Amino acid sequence: MIANSARYVIGGGVIVYPTETVYGLGANALDEQAVMRVFQIKKRPLSQPIFLAVSNFEMLKKVADIGREDMAILEQLFPGPVSVLVKKKSIVPDILTAGSPIVGIRYPDHETALRIIDLAGPITSTSANRTGSPPPISAETVSPEIKDRVDEVVDGGKCKFGQPSTLLDLQKKEIVRPGAGLDRAMKAISESRD
């Protein structure tokens, strides 16, 4: 099932995949047309950026420009239920970031997600719901309007946290959106200031 899901992603398809926070919509994050499909499935305005997910630090360095000090913070946070805003590299298409030089990155702590990303990554990281609807926390809670428009739903059981990740602006060392992993993000910020 994992190899199959990765094949869909590599071929420009979109899947629903589990993470420790909520279920996400996964497509090749470096393929503009695949990213556009994610926007259409979510009915998300193109002005609202979509994050991407990586499965290791090497992949992270390919898509983001990160200094040594920031990498030390990320090593405390990743893998885990925290997303970070960092400077993107030119390999990341502008459609993903709504034209911004900043990209949101997630490195999930979920075996199924990591195995898919290893094979197909980096992939999009955005909740598998219509924009404005509650995010699904199990394969059963993915709505029919999403299920019917994706190539595959990967069932990884119930999400450990059941809420979106905390979002951290790495440049400003500020929490933009509290969520799962908030304590971990706060600790990493305070230790970076010491």
**CATH 3.65.10.10 correct for 2-193:** no
pLDDT tier for residue 30 given thresholds of 50, 70 and 90: very high
pLDDT range class, residue 28, cuts 50, 70, 90: very high
Q: What is the mean pLDDT of the chain?
A: 96
Residue 54 tokens read as: 């990586």
What values do phi and psi take at 177, rounded to 5? -145, 115
What digits encode the pLDDT tens for the residues 112-162?
999 999 999 899 999 999 988 999 999 999 999 999 999 999 999 999 999
- What pTM was estimated for this model as a whole? 0.96
Q: What pLDDT was estimated at residue 125?
A: 98
Give the lowest-confidence range in 83-92, 116-125, 127-136, 185-194: 185-194
Across-strand partners of 13? none
pLDDT for residue 56: 98
- Give long-range contacts, CB 8 A cutoff, 24+ apart: 97-105: 97/49, 98/46, 98/47, 98/48, 98/49, 100/49, 103/49, 103/51, 103/52, 103/63, 103/64, 104/49, 104/50, 104/51, 104/52, 104/167, 105/51, 105/52, 105/53, 105/54, 105/60, 105/63, 105/64
Which is it for strands 152-153 and 123-127: parallel, antiparallel or unpaired? unpaired
